[in-house]
Chain A
Amino acid sequence: MDLAFTTEEQQFREDIRAWVRDQLPADISHKVHNALRLTRDDMQHWAKILGKKGWLGHAWPKEFGGPGWNSIQKHLFEEECALAGAPRVVPFGPVMVAPVIMAFGNAEQQQRFLPGIASGDVWWSQGYSEPGSGSDLASLKTRAERRGDKFIVNGQKTWTTLGQYGEWIFCLVRTSSEGKPQTGISFLLIDMKSPGVTVRPIVLLDGEAEVNEVWFDNVEVPAENLVGEENKGWHYAKHLLAHERTNIADVNRAKRELERLKRIARAEGVYDDTRFRDEIAKLEVDVVALEMLALRVLAAETSGKQSLDIAGLLKIRGSEIQQRYSELMMLAAGPYALPLIREAMEAGWQGDAVGAAWCAPLASTYFNMRKTTIYGGSNEVQRNIVSQVVLG
C-alpha cells in the first residue's frame, strides 16, 4: 500500500501540467474558473487542441491511436486538465461512442468514424432517453424498421445534451418488440443532417438551452450504420456505461470548485463565520473521501489484483458533492446570488455588477446542478444497483 504517486507518475503529471499550461487558452480557463458561459467554439477549440496532440481520446488504446495510458495516468491527465481550468471534454464522441465502435463496430466503421472523433472535428450527440423512458431506459420506443439496405427511424429522443451542435448521433432504437424489452434494441449511428431529423432546444430552469428534443420522422439510415448485431444494442450500451464509472464522479472538478468556494466565502466574509466554515469543512472531508474512493478504484484497475464493487458509489457521492458545492457558493453570496443578469455571465461584460462579479452565475449553476443526481441513471436507480451488490 502506498498513497504516494511513483516518481514516473509524478513526472508524467509534471509533463501534462506543463503541456496544459502551454496549450490551454487563457480566455477559456478564465471562463471555466469563474463559471462564465462557454460557447460551442470554446469547447471545440480545446477539443481540437487535444485532438491535435492525440489526447482527445485520452483513454483510447494505442491500436486506435490513443496514448494507451493506464488508469492512474488517465486520472492524472484528467486532474491536471480540470485543475488548470480546462472545459470538460464533451464526452459523447471520444468517451462514449468511440469505445463502442472500437469494441463492437466493424473495421469499416472504425476507419470511417474514429478519426473524426479523435480530432474533435465531428460533434457527436447521444440519443438514449425518450419522453417515456428515463431511468427505465429499456422501455424506449423509437422504432427502426429494416427496409432493404436501410433502416427507417421514427420516434423521439430527449435530454440530448448540446444536441443543437450535434452532427452525428448514436441512438438506441427498437428493432424488435419480441421477448424482454432489452433484447429488441439496436445501436444505430445517425447523421443528424438526414432529412426528417428535427432538433428543438429545451430551456432549462437556469434559462439555458443545454439539452434538446430530437425527432426522427421517417429518417433513412443506411444499414451499414448499425453497430454490431441487430437487437444487441442494450449489451453494447452497458459496455459503454462501464467505461465512465470513475469519470462521472468528477472528483477533480470537485477539488477545483471547492477551492473556488473557499475564495468566494472569503470574499463574501463568511469564511470565518464558524457556522458557514464548518459546512465547508464537511465538504472538504467529503471531497477527500470521494477522492480516496476514486483512487482505490483506479489503483485496483491498474494493478488488476482486486475487483472492487464500489464503482457504483462514485456516481451517487460525486453528484451529491457537485450539488453541495454549488449550493454553498450560492449561499455564500446570500442575497447577491438573486439578481438574474444574463449578460453578467458572459466573459468580458463591462456592466456594473450587483454585489460582485463572481455573484452573477452562482444561483444559475446551483439550479443547473440539480441534473447531476438525475442523469446517468438517477441516484435512486444507482441505489437499486448498489443494493443488489449488498443484498443480492
Chain B
Amino acid sequence: MDFDFSEDQDQLRDAVRKWVDKGYSFDRRRETTRAGGFSRAAYTELAELGLCGLYIAPEHDGMGMGPVEGMVVMEELGRGIVLEPLAHSLIASGVLGGYAPAELQAAWLPRIASGEALVVLAHQERAARYRLDVCKAKATQTPAGWTLDATKSIVPAGDQADAFLVPALVGERMALFLVAREAAGVSTRGYGTQDGARAAEVTLQQAPAELITLDGLTALEHAVDIGIAATCAEAVGVMDKTLSLTTEYMNTRKQFGVVISSFQALRHRAADMKMQLELARSMSYYASLKLNAPAPERRAAMARAKYQLGNSMRFIGQQAVQLHGGIGVTDEYIVSHYFKKLTQLELTFGDTLHHLGEVSERMQDTAGVFA
C-alpha cells in the first residue's frame, strides 16, 4: 500500500507541467481552436517529450512505462486543457502492443512513439451509444486482404490522424483492425467539438485494413479502459485547476465591500468542490492502479471510477461557473473552457448514468476497494 510517486514520476510530472506552463498558453490553445481544434505542431512537441511513446516498449523506441506514469502525464495535460488527444496515443500503443501481430507492431509503434503517426480509436457508432458490443461495421476477407465498410462517429482529430483502430464484424464476431487514413475508400468529415478540439465522421467503403485481432471485443474493452483511466486522470488535472481558478477568483472579487470568499454559503460550496476533487483523485488512482488487473476486475474498477469522476466533473464544472458569476459564462474568461472540457470528458468513454448501470450490473455480495 503506497500512494507516493517515485522520483522519476515526479520528474516526468515536472517536465510535462513545464511544457504546459511555458509552451501551451491559453492564447495558443485559442488559436488552435480557431484553426480547427488540432495542432500537429503541439502534438509533435508532446512526442518530443517522449509522451507519445509512454506505453510503447523500448524495442519499438518507446519509454516502456505504465499506468501510473500515464496518469501523471494526463493530469498535467488536463491542467492545461490540452486539445491534442494523447489519450488515444496511449490507447493505440496499448492495443497494438498487446494484441497486434509482430509485423504490425514493428510498422506502427516506432512511428507512434516518434509522433510521426497519430493513431486514434474509431469505434463510436450511432446505434451503440456507450455500448461496446454494438457494431454494424463489416469486415470482408478478400484475396488481397481485409476490407472494411463502416461509419464511425466523433473520432478525435479524425481528419488529421494517420490511422484508425476500427472494430468491425467478421461474420457475427467483432474483430479489430487498423486502417490508414490515406487508404482508398476512406473519407472523413471534420468538425469542432464543444471543448474546442476536433473530431470527424469517418466513412470506410471497402477500405483496405490490417487485422489486429479477431478477438475484437476483448481488445476494444481494453482500449476503452485505457481511455477511461487516462480520461479520469486528465479530468483530475482539469478539476484541480478549475478549483484553484475558482478559489483565486473568490479571494479577489469584491461585492458588498468584501471579498466573496468571506461568505459562508460560498465557502461551503468551495469545500464541497474540494470534496468532489479528492474523491475523484482517489478514484483516478484506483483506475490507474487497476488498469493491469484481469479483465473482469479491471472493467468493474473502470466503471466505478468513471461514475465517480463523472459526478465530480459535473459538480465542479457547474459550481466553478456559478461561483465566478457573470464572468463565468463568458467565452473570454478561461473558466468556461475548463467547464466545457469537463463536460466533454464526462460524455467520453461512457457517461455517468451508463457507468452507474455497469456498476449496478457487476455488483457482488462483498464491498470495498478489494472486493
Contact = CB atoms under 8 A, between A and B. Distances in A.
Specify which of B5, B278, B288 lies most central, judged by the most chain A CB atoms within 10 Å of its CB. B278
Contact of A285 (B251, B271, B273, B308): B308
A2 interface: yes
Given A6-B1, A390-B274, A292 B251 contact: no
Nearest to B279: A289
Nearest to B359: A281
A259 B365 contact: yes
B180 to A, nearest CB: 37
A18 interface: no
A298 B274 CA distance: 19
Contact of B268 (A258, A288, A305, A380): A380
B283 A289 contact: yes
A314 B365 CA distance: 25
Contacts of A285: 283, 304, 307-308, 359
Contact of A5 (B1, B247, B285): B1
B250 interface: yes
A136 interface: no
Nearest to B282: A292
Contacts of A296: 3, 282, 285
A317 interface: yes
Contacts of B264: 384
A36 B261 CA distance: 46
B1 A298 contact: yes
Nearest to A256: B367
Contact of A306 (B1, B4, B270, B359): B4
Given A259-B366, A292-B369, A390-B271, A3 B1 contact: yes
A354 interface: no
Interface string A234-256: 00000000000000000100110
B360 A305 contact: no
Nearest to B267: A387
A1 interface: yes
Contact of A284 (B267, B270, B367): B367
A26 B357 CA distance: 38
B116 to A, nearest CB: 31
B68 interface: yes
A278 B371 CA distance: 18
Nearest to B273: A390
Contacts of B268: 380, 383-384, 387
A224 interface: no
B271 A392 contact: no
B274 A386 contact: yes
B368 A291 contact: yes
B272 A262 contact: no
A270 B4 CA distance: 42
Interface string B242-257: 0100010011000000
B271 A387 contact: yes
Contact of A316 (B68, B273, B275, B363): B275
A9 to B, nearest CB: 7
B290 interface: yes
A262 B285 contact: no
Given A313-B275, A384-B267, A259 B247 contact: no
Interface string B341-371: 0000000000000001101100101111101
Contacts of A313: 274-275, 278
Nearest to A308: B278
Nearest to A283: B367
B279 A305 contact: no
B360 A274 contact: yes
A292 B274 CA distance: 16
Interface of B is mostly: helix
Contacts of B285: 1, 3, 292, 296
B5 A1 contact: yes
B137 interface: no
B331 interface: no
Given A1-B68, A3-B1, A262-B363, A391 B282 contact: no
A389 B1 contact: no
Contact of B261 (A2, A274, A391): A391
B2 interface: yes
Contacts of A5: 1
Contact of B368 (A255, A305, A387): A255
A386 B68 CA distance: 28
A267 interface: no
Given A1-B2, A387-B271, A288 B289 contact: no
A387 B360 contact: no
A20 interface: no
Contacts of A274: 360
A197 interface: no
Contacts of A389: 274
B72 to A, nearest CB: 10
A373 to B, nearest CB: 13
A292 B289 CA distance: 11
A287 interface: yes
A295 interface: yes
A305 B7 CA distance: 12
Contacts of A386: 271, 274-275
A275 to B, nearest CB: 10
Interface of A: 1-6, 9, 72, 251, 254-255, 258-259, 262-263, 274, 277-278, 280-282, 284-285, 287-293, 295-296, 298-300, 302-303, 305-306, 310, 313, 316-317, 380, 382-384, 386-387, 389-392
20 contacts: A1-B288, A3-B289, A255-B367, A258-B367, A259-B367, A282-B356, A285-B307, A285-B308, A289-B282, A292-B285, A292-B286, A296-B285, A299-B4, A303-B2, A383-B268, A383-B271, A386-B274, A390-B270, A391-B247, A391-B251
Complex A-B, nearest 3 residue pairs according to Cβ-Cβ distance, in ascending order: A292-B282, A387-B267, A281-B360
Interface of B: 1-5, 9, 68, 243, 247, 250-251, 261, 264, 267-268, 270-275, 278-279, 282-283, 285-286, 288-290, 304, 307-308, 356-357, 359-360, 363, 365-369, 371
Given A278-B356, A299-B3, A391-B247, 4 more contacts: A1-B2, A288-B304, A305-B4, A317-B275
